[in-house]
Amino acid sequence: MDDGQVLQQVRAIYVRNAVDTQFLQIDVTNKVVFVKGVFTITIYKAKKSGPDSPAEVTKLKDEVRRTLRNIEQQIIDIGEIKSLNFDYDNWMRSPTGWVEKKV
């Protein structure tokens, strides 16, 4: 599988996971995946008036973390990937998982 094919599969993974790819730059060079930009997903929820409660915000952030983990694993599962480099403006990989960056 060449880099172009890997790139197509990586892009498809982001789209299948409801990620807004217009704010991401995705590149593959020598089987190394580079992703840079703002990570945003579309989460469908019932409309309501007023701001989200702290519990709802926590639930939404947990959903984003779960999506980030799933995407990472799906890219690894492509095979032949030497390395993953994520440089999101709003999330970062830590030893304990994904954490939101303070903007």
The CATH number linked to 13 is: 3.30.70
Give me the amino acid identity at 91: W
Question: For tokens 């579309």, what's the residue?
Answer: 42
Residue 49's pLDDT is 60
- In the chain, DSSP assigns E strands to 24-29, 32-37, 83-88, 91-94, 97-100
Q: State pTM to two decimals.
A: 0.87
| Residue 86, both tokens | 């994520």
Question: In what helix (H) or strand (E) does residue 76 lie, and over which residues does it extend?
Answer: helix 54-76
**Total count of domains within the chain:** 1
The pLDDT tens digits of the residues spanning 18-74 come to 999 999 999 999 999 999 999 998 876 666 666 677 888 788 889 999 999 999 999
Residue 57's pLDDT is 77
Nearest to 60 by CA among 41, 86, 73, 38: 41
Question: Which residues span the domain enclosing 50?
Answer: 3-100
Residue 60's pLDDT is 85
